[in-house]
Amino acid sequence: MLLYTFRRLLQAVPTLVGVVVLIFFFVRALPGDPARLYAGTDADRATVEAIRQRFGLDRSLPEQFVYFVGGLARGDLGRSFRANMPVKDLLARHFRATLVLASIAIVAATLLGIMLGVAAARRRNSALDLGITSASVLGISTPSFFLGILLIYVFAVKLRVLPVAGSVSLKGIVLPAATLAVASLGTIARFARSSLLETIGNDYVRTARAKGLDPRRVINKHALRNALIPVVTIVGLQFGFLLSGTVIVETVFNFHGLGWLLIQSVEARDYPAVQGLMLVFALQFIVINLVVDVLYGLIDPRISYE
Amino acid sequence: MSDAPATPASDALAPAQERAPGGFSRSALGRLLRHRSGSLGLVLTVAFAVLAVVGPWIAPYGPAVPDYTHLAKGASGAHWLGTDAFGRDTFSRVLAGARYSITIGLAATVIGAFVGGAWGLLAGFLGGWFDNVSMRVVDVLLAFPGILIAIGLVTITGPGVGPVILASAVFGIPVFARLARGSTLEVKGRAFIEAANALGVKRPRVMLKHVLPQVIAPILVYATLRSGSTLLVASGLSFLGLGVQAPAPEWGGMLSDAQLWLVVQPLMAFAPGIAITLAVLGFNLLGDGLRDVLDPSVGR
């Protein structure tokens, strides 16, 4: 188990190296001159040149790359052009908001998704099943930017019970979290439903039924536990997508998290900030996949680690 | 953001062990039509595809024609879905916008499936260092949440229809590459390929004549499933202001403009929003139906 975890960690290393290289060149490929943007439109050449030197943008690409990687090794992500503060601090400032938002969304999506999926599977082909399956696919198909606007219209404009703009507060986080959760909720519900249906078809479930166990007990005690194992994977993957989904949802609600910051930084050609953000998004994704893999093995002892 | 509603690429996407040759037979279409939600998806998809062609022609007004005497009005006999902030007819803009949104979504999916599929087929078939390097690159691409790659690319290329298609296509390439490689590896191990090799059939011919037909069905099913999320990403780019620019009536861009006017005229947002949702729903239902009918093991 420990060995497997370690090997899985090692596997992530080449991916991480690729990510760092890709991010560096991506940011350099962006059009526009960050030094000029930073200096402002009415700055003279000398000022722009001075800024270029201060940010190290006058050096050759290999030099900049070595500087970037060297900084990374020391945990230094550089200084944001736009916010004029270390990127690390800038990210830290916005990270909490996104983490709170995404966590609420994934917890809600998982609990509700499993409940709905199980309820649908219990009464297969009933009106309830049809309703839940239809709602799930509708939830998956609705763009988050439309759903967000719809929720703003109903709850903020018409009913006036919740604020238009999102923030990390009890009231301010409800609408963005709900918007973010819906697509994952639909996916998790569908997956839980099909997983439980598949498990119910197994021999041991039939045996349990044949020996006269209460049908509710058969599902709760025997089928459900096994059916939920693959759901772990889908929840993990959804959490990864959720974090990137914050880019759009945070823009709709003007919610100042990492996704919102990314769009702002891209517009300002804030190289160090975009680099840092891309790195954080990729890191989150890699770590989540790693955790899901390891967790999967902990839950299901049948999986071997060769 | 639901940029990947279906199960992402994994071994679960490997094709079934045995599949009847010639997956898309007439009986498959028949079974699809009897499939309740699948047939609904087919109807919706065909309807939107037709709309993408005829939409701009049947629109009662020009999509960019302003009417400064009727700004942000509600539904009326003259303007069925009201007008926007410039007095442009919302109904006409939604109809004309189908050509942008649907075409972009479909083109991006087809390009992504083609490039990714070809890449995965080659990697799986050739094996060796090319396969190794390819899969490491795919790993790196998949380490970024999909929409981030699309945002990144479209920021480099600048806004416009072409760049959005490119960015949304690249969003799908690594997933299709991995799927095609998995299917190829599985097919490569079967007896009839060994037989072809033993008979001395040339390698390119084995790949194109014997492996490719087996790999194409899962890719087609997955492409249909994927076109919904591709449309979501493409219109999402325009919503963020990075994609198709005003005054083009792209649905995502229309929603972005409409959000500012939500209090005054909500119809401006509802019309394009419902259009995108129905189109994506159509693709998703059709994809689910195709998967059920053709190959139950793809992307469960």
Structure-block tokens of residue B216: 């194409």
B177 within domain boundaries: yes
The confidence score (pLDDT) of residue A301 equals 66
Which helix (H) or strand (E) covers residue B123, if one does?
A: helix B90-126
Return mean pLDDT, chain A.
Answer: 84
Mean of the pLDDT values across residues A294-306? 66
Q: In 3-state terms, chain B is what percent helix, strand and coil (to 5)?
A: 70, 0, 30
Type of residue numbered B76: S
Q: Looking at chain A, which residues constitute the CATH 1.10.3720.10 domain(s)?
A: 91-299
B16 within domain boundaries: no
Contact map slice: B 136-175 vs A, CB within 8 A? 136-137, 139-140, 143-148, 151-152, 155-156, 158
For B263, the closest of A22, A150, A157 (CB atoms) is A157
| Residues in B touching A20 (Cβ below 8 Å) | none
Smallest CA-to-CA distance from B231 within B116, B108, B115 is with B108
The CATH number given to whatever domain includes residue B248 is: 1.10.3720.10
A208 touches chain B (CB under 8 A): no
Residue A278 has pLDDT above 80, yes or no: yes
Smallest CA-to-CA distance from A179 within A121, A256, A237, A101 is with A101
pLDDT in tens, A233-255: 888 888 888 888 889 999 999 89
The confidence score (pLDDT) of residue B89 equals 80
Spatial distance between the Cα atoms of B64 and B62, rounded to a whole number of angstroms: 6
For A150, the closest of B151, B235, B273 (CB atoms) is B273
For A149, the closest of B143, B232, B255 (CB atoms) is B255
Greater pLDDT, B43 or A74: B43
Per DSSP, the three-state class of A86 is strand
Q: How many domains does chain B have?
A: 1
pLDDT in tens, A50-68: 878 877 777 788 888 888 7
Q: For B100, left (φ over 0), alpha (ψ -120 to 50), or beta?
A: alpha
Structure-block tokens of residue A180: 């973010």
B17 within domain boundaries: no
Lowest-pLDDT range of A8-17, A297-306, B43-52, B63-72: A297-306
pLDDT in tens, A196-230: 888 887 777 778 878 877 877 777 777 787 888 88
B30 within domain boundaries: yes
Interface predicted TM-score of the whole assembly (ipTM), two decimals: 0.85
Distance from CA of B125 to the nearest CA of A (A): 23
Greater pLDDT, B6 or A177: A177
A–B CB contacts, 8 A cutoff, strictly below:
156
Distance from CA of B197 to the nearest CA of A (A): 32
Q: Under an 8 A CB cutoff, do B140 and A19 touch?
A: yes
B213 within domain boundaries: yes
Contact map slice: A 230-289 vs B, CB within 8 A? 234, 237, 240-241, 243-249, 251-252, 262-263, 266, 278, 281-282, 285-286
Distance linking the first and last C-alpha atoms of chain A: 10
The confidence score (pLDDT) of residue A108 equals 94
| Residue B87: partners with Cβ closer than 8 Å, 6 or more residues away | B66, B67, B68, B69, B70, B71, B72, B73
Q: Which domain holds residue B144?
A: 26-294
Structure-block tokens of residue B234: 């493409």
Distance from CA of B280 to the nearest CA of A (A): 5
The confidence score (pLDDT) of residue B26 equals 60
| Residue A303: partners with Cβ closer than 8 Å, 6 or more residues away | A296, A297
Under CATH, what is the fold of the domain A91-299?
MetI-like fold (1.10.3720)
Spatial distance between the Cα atoms of B59 and B91, rounded to a whole number of angstroms: 7
Low-confidence ranges of chain B (pLDDT < 50): 1-23, 296, 298-300
Q: Under an 8 A CB cutoff, do A186 and B263 touch?
A: no
